[in-house]
Copies of this chain bind each other. A is one copy, B any other.
Amino acid sequence: MEPDLAFAVWTGERQQRIEHVLDRSLAGVAGAPRALVEAMRYAVLGGGKRVRPLLAYAAGELADADPAIVDAPAAAVEMIHAYSLVHDDLPCMDDDVLRRGKPTCHVAFGEAMALLAGDALQAQAFAVLQSAPLPDPRAASLLLAEAAGASGMAGGQAIDLLHVGKAMSTAELENMHLRKTGALIRGAIRLGAACGNPVDAAALDRYARATGLAFQVVDDVLDVEGSSASLGKTAGKDAAQNKPTYVTLLGLAEAKRHAESLREEARGALAAFGPRARRLMEITDWIARRSA
Contact = CB atoms under 8 A, between A and B. Distances in A.
Nearest to A90: B115
B115 A150 contact: no
Nearest to A157: B116
A157 to B, nearest CB: 6
Contact-residue bracket for chain A: 35 or more
Contacts of A29: 149-151, 155
A111 B92 contact: yes
Number of copies: 2
B113 A126 contact: no
A134 B119 CA distance: 25
Given A127-B142, A146-B127, A150-B120, A155 B32 contact: yes
A273 to B, nearest CB: 28
A122 B119 contact: yes
A162 B123 contact: no
B40 A150 contact: yes
Nearest to A179: B31
B33 A155 contact: yes
Contacts of A32: 149-151, 155, 158
B87 A115 contact: yes
Given A112-B92, A141-B126, A151-B30, A36 B119 contact: no
Given A29-B150, A122-B122, 6 more contacts: A33-B158, A120-B154, A120-B155, A124-B150, A127-B149, A130-B145
A-B pairs, top 4 by smallest CB distance, nearest first, are A123-B149, A32-B150, A127-B145, A92-B111
